[in-house]
């Protein structure tokens, strides 16, 4: 056992803090923010005369097992002609976190909650994000509701947005709900305790699958990646646990995609500016074409999301175990998303991976600052008030949110690699199967097949490109810097 085995939490947290400060991010709330927080002691007031009372509906939250910051609730209603009304309630954060306040300044600086292997650095204090602005179980809360009519073919027929009172009837977790929906496992106790909720969840599941199928017809990409979650026993890091997609996660993902599109279109209809989330046409489409050819499939020379999705679906059916590896390679080649400001009547690029033109981030205001910005714009549009941000402000904020997100991603990856280095430091010299996840002038990176761990290939990388399979040997781990080095063998 290493000397620092019992100090893994503290070690990784110190690495995270150092990385955040180096990137200009704030690991702690300022005295001014803490003082402001001390004056907030109740949820946002709900004016019965100006909001709809939807507290009687079968609202529920579905999130990770350990999530306490509940941003959204969902419910569905069967309608004539096979249509399904889907309602998404989004936590009203703006009512307690005002623009320009000390809490807002902190959120604007970090732009997101930062999820590291050591701990979560929340964008808003937990008194708010897991308490007063969270859509907590068995509590009345103010929310902005996105009301959508979904046809039997999964197309969006109509949508509306309005403030409402909501009440969370059941706090549910992805894994237990998925085990019940997918494999006929035991119904979660929280579902069984609410009359009618089981049927409603089946209806939500049907609506989500219809929405997903419609998007794939339009060319949305069928991608599946492996996420690694650190497993601690006390303060000692013992393992990296793989988290996979499931039907319960699909409900939330597909409803949020639909809601984010509805919000973007609503703002455009009111002649309001917005911040859009875009993924441009991939610059490395040529390598995606080569990757498909290695699997016996010919893709068009011009980027075509529908053709790419057909290839991905075929590969998922043919080799489901290795499909996450292929997905990761494609994601790397697609490039990262970014935020752009769209003025009224503008033509911002769409989201290539989702095959949608109008897309915002609006459904997670406890965790992402772009969603807070969008919520303020949305409330002004709904209530007929003046713009909370002008076009120049939105342009600057879009660039800042993109830059900060890039910094946060690097920090989360670095701390994740530090955690992986802790687990691998006793395995120097061992060999592993891997595949190439990045190849550029900056270096070549590989991900192990056996473990969800990524590191740099320092020897034998010549001629390799994203998606190639390779046998590697572990040569170095550096916990402080988050370095894991391999060399090619064989």
179 part of a folded domain: yes
Q: Which is more confidently placed, 361 or 309?
A: 361
Judge if 381 and 429 occupy the same domain: no
pLDDT digits (tens, 9 = 90+) for 263-305: 999 999 999 999 988 877 777 888 888 888 888 888 888 888 7
pLDDT at 307: 83
Judge if 471 and 387 occupy the same domain: no
Judge if 432 and 408 occupy the same domain: no
Map residue 296 onto helix, strand or coil.
coil
Judge if 38 and 132 occupy the same domain: yes
Judge if 488 and 367 occupy the same domain: no
Specify the DSSP class assigned to residue 5.
G
Map residue 168 onto helix, strand or coil.
strand
- Would you say 200 and 194 are in contact if contact means Cβ atoms under 8 Å apart? no
CA distances 338 to 95, 185, 235, 333, 456, Å, are: 27, 39, 36, 15, 25
Minimum mean pLDDT range among 147-151, 313-317, 420-424, 428-432 = 313-317
- Domain harbouring 490, CATH code: 2.40.50.140
Minimum mean pLDDT range among 23-27, 43-47, 233-237, 414-418 = 233-237
pLDDT at 226: 65
Domain that residue 451 falls in:
425-490
Judge if 133 and 231 occupy the same domain: yes
CA separation for the pair 122, 27 (Å, rounded): 9
Query: How many domains would you assign to the chain?
Result: 2
Judge if 464 and 441 occupy the same domain: yes
Map residue 44 onto helix, strand or coil.
coil
442 part of a folded domain: yes
276 part of a folded domain: no
Q: Inform me whether the pLDDT recorded for 3 exceeds 50.
A: no
Judge if 381 and 445 occupy the same domain: no
The string of DSSP letters for 353-395 reads: TTTBSS-B--S-TTTBHHHHHHHHHHHHHHHTPPPSS-HHHHH
Looking at mean pLDDT, say which of 47-56, 218-227, 409-418 comes out highest. 409-418
Segment 27-51 mean pLDDT: 91
CA separation for the pair 430, 438 (Å, rounded): 22
Residue 462's φ and ψ, nearest 5 degrees, are -60, 130
Segment 161-181 mean pLDDT: 94
Q: Are strands 274-278 and 469-478 parallel, antiparallel or unpaired?
A: unpaired
Of 346, 379, 413, at which residue does a domain stop?
Answer: 413
- Residue 45 CB coordination number (10 Å): 9
Of 352, 384, 413, at which residue does a domain stop?
Answer: 413
43 part of a folded domain: yes
Q: How far apart are the first and last CA of the chain?
A: 32
Judge if 407 and 432 occupy the same domain: no
- pLDDT category, 64, cuts 50, 70, 90? confident
Q: Inform me whether the pLDDT recorded for 1 exceeds 50.
A: no
Judge if 370 and 449 occupy the same domain: no
Of 382, 413, 444, at which residue does a domain stop?
Answer: 413
CA separation for the pair 303, 351 (Å, rounded): 13
218 part of a folded domain: yes
456 part of a folded domain: yes
Question: b/e for 399-427, b at 16 or more Cβ within 10 A?
Answer: ebbbebbebbeebbebbbbbbbbbbbeee
pTM: 0.87
327 part of a folded domain: no
Judge if 232 and 263 occupy the same domain: yes
Please give the structure tokens belonging to residue 242.
């793989």
CA separation for the pair 433, 186 (Å, rounded): 37
Judge if 403 and 439 occupy the same domain: no
- Residue 306 CB coordination number (10 Å): 15
CA separation for the pair 196, 30 (Å, rounded): 46
351 part of a folded domain: no
């Amino acid at each position: 056992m290493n000397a620092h085995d019992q100090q893994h939490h503290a070690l990784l947290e110190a690495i995270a803090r150092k990385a955040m400060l180096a990137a200009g991010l704030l690991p702690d709330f300022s005295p001014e923010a803490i003082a402001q927080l001390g004056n907030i002691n109740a949820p946002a007031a709900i004016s019965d005369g100006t909001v709809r009372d939807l507290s009687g509906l079968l609202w529920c939250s579905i999130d990770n097992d350990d999530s306490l910051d509940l941003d959204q609730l969902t419910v569905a209603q069967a309608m004539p002609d096979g249509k399904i009304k889907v309602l998404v309630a989004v936590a009203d954060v703006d009512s307690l976190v005002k623009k320009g306040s000390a809490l807002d300044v902190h959120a604007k600086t970090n732009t997101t909650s930062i999820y590291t292997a050591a701990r979560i650095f929340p964008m808003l204090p937990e008194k708010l994000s897991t308490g007063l602005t969270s859509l907590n179980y068995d509590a009345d809360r103010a929310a902005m509701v996105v009301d959508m009519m979904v046809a039997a073919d999964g197309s969006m027929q109509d949508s509306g947005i309005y403030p409402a009172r909501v009440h969370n009837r059941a706090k549910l977790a992805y894994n237990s709900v998925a085990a019940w929906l997918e494999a006929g496992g035991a119904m979660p106790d929280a579902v069984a305790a609410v009359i009618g909720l089981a049927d409603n969840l089946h209806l939500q599941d049907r609506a989500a699958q219809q929405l997903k199928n419609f998007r794939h017809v339009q060319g949305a990409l069928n991608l599946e990646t492996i996420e690694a979650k650190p497993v601690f026993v006390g303060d000692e890091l013992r393992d990296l646990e793989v988290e996979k997609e499931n039907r319960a996660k699909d409900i939330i993902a597909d409803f949020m995609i639909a809601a984010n599109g509805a919000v973007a279109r609503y703002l455009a209809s009111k002649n309001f500016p917005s911040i859009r989330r875009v993924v441009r046409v991939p610059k490395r489409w040529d390598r995606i074409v080569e990757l498909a050819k290695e699997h016996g499939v010919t893709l068009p020379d011009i980027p075509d999301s529908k053709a790419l999705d057909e290839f991905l679906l075929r590969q998922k059916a043919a080799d489901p175990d290795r499909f996450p590896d292929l997905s990761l390679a494609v994601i790397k080649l697609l490039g990262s998303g970014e935020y752009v400001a769209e003025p009224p009547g503008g033509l911002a690029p769409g989201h290539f991976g989702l095959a949608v033109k109008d897309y915002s981030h609006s459904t997670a205001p406890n965790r992402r600052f772009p969603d807070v910005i969008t919520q303020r714009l949305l409330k002004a549009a709904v209530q007929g008030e003046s713009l909370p941000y002008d076009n120049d402000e939105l342009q600057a904020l879009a660039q800042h949110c993109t830059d900060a997100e890039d910094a946060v991603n690097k920090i989360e990856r670095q701390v994740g690699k530090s955690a992986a280095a802790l687990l691998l430091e006793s395995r120097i010299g061992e060999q592993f199967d891997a595949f190439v996840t990045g190849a550029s002038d900056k270096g070549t990176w590989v991900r192990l097949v056996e473990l969800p761990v990524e590191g740099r290939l320092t020897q034998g990388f010549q001629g390799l490109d994203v998606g190639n399979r390779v046998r590697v040997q572990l040569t170095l781990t550096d916990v402080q810097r988050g370095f894991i080095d391999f060399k090619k063998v064989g």
